[in-house]
Amino acid sequence: MTHYDGWFMLAAILAAFAANEVWRVVGVALSARLHEDSAVFSWVKMVATALVAGLVAKLVLNPTGGLALAPLWLRLGSVAFGVAAYALGRRSLALGVAAAAATLMVGTAVIAPGAPP
């Protein structure tokens, strides 16, 4: 486990805030003139969607930290259960998230009940 210097951490968060906020500000500037249904915006949205989906895959396949205590098949299985519950529950986020979390919890309890975190 790494421990970050306080000033480094503060600078990183402020930089992330600025890097994130810039698109909200640009959005305000453009919202008066640009249309959500233009081709450029559907492309931008798909790029962003693919990026976040890629992040999800990375988090599930190569987790850092405690999630790695669950084996790969359990992590994939929990996502599959979550997606299935979401689809069967008429696209209910709560149901999907709860099903995935319950799968992880029960699975980890069965496999490694006493493992230190």
Partner 1 sequence: MGQPELAGDERPPRVWALRGARDSLSTPGFVLFGSFVGFGAMTHDFGWPLWAAALSTALVWAAPAQLVLAGSLASGAGIVAAALAVTVSAVRLLPMVIAFLPVLRTPRTRLTARLLAAHYVAVTAWFEGQRRTQMMPRSARMPYFLGLANGLVAGSTIATAVGHAAAGALPTPLSVALLGLTPIYFLLSLERGAGSVGERLAILIGLFMAPVVGVLTPSLDLLLTGVVGGTAAFVIERALRRRRETP
Interacting positions 85-114 with partner 1 (CB under 8 A): 86, 91, 93-94, 96-97, 100-102, 104-106, 108-109, 112-114
For residue 114, the minimal CB distance to partner 1 (Å) is 8
Residues 9-28 that bind partner 1 (CB under 8 A): 9-28
Residue 73, φ and ψ in degrees, nearest 5:
-65, -35
Question: Among residues 36 and 73, whose Cβ is nearest to partner 1?
Answer: 36
Residues 37-76 that bind partner 1 (CB under 8 A): 41-67, 69-70, 75
For residue 18, the minimal CB distance to partner 1 (Å) is 7
The four Cα atoms 16, 19, 20, 21 give a dihedral, to 10 degrees, of 110
Read off the tokens for 14.
């402020």
C-beta neighbour count of 75 within 10 angstroms: 20
Residue 37, φ and ψ in degrees, nearest 5:
-95, 15
Count of residues in contact with partner 1, rule CB under 8 A: 84
For residue 74, the minimal CB distance to partner 1 (Å) is 9
Read off the tokens for 83.
């997606």
